[in-house]
Amino acid sequence: MKRIISYNLNGIRSAAGKGLADWLSAANPDIVCFQETKAQPDQIPVELFEALGYHHYWFSAVKKGYSGVGILSKTKPDHVDFGMNIQKYDDEGRTIMAHFGNITVMCVYHPSGTTGDVRQGFKMTWLEDFLRYVNELRKTRPNLIICGDFNICHKPIDIHDPVRNATSSGFLPEEREWLTRFFDSGFIDTFRVFNQEPRNYTWWSFRAGARSRNLGWRIDYQVVTPPIEKQLLRAAILPDAKHSDHCPTLLEVDF
């Protein structure tokens, strides 16, 4: 059994200063997918993760203090792929992928469109390119686990105020329609396999006490292809971990 944790840190140095390593030691995952590290490789406190017995791999954005992803693993992967070989996305440090036998774990940080029309357009183009990329990838790597911050709530159950947020980036009709197409193309939202309840969120605004009032959004997912569905043991959201404005997601898989 493998425990996989996915976590948007909103800055790995900030999260490390809030006790991230102690939390990881207690949670003891086999594989960790980090998003939004906001650090260059030489700025990442790798000694914290090495002390816990992890191999670690990082893919940073060209722009300093921005985006970036990383994978930790207790077992050394057979191979690691950095990026998608699409420069405009790889310059932003959006994906990293580790292969373990016939299983592939991808860590992804989807763009946000909250800063305006230009970035919203970039996000929508990215989404189409990403869908093509992962569906092509599945031809050679059919056992795929995708972990990360998708920056989209899928359904009204996934957001605290679906009516007032209907025109907000992250809950726009075209984004939600893309996520439906993504799932319909053969990807499984593992959390919803185990939990159909409302008020389960993974991100809260820093404003207005949103987290203490649980006014959140579920935008972080662990997604698998159908061959892995029968191996799923558990999926959960871990809101008690408070190193970021996101919280971690957990997936337990029998592989």
Q: Does 149 participate in catalysis according to the annotation? A: yes
Among residues 69, 92, 65, 66, the alpha carbon closest in space to that of 81 is found at 69
Q: Annotated catalytic residue: which of 149, 158, 220, 245?
A: 149
Positions marked catalytic: 149
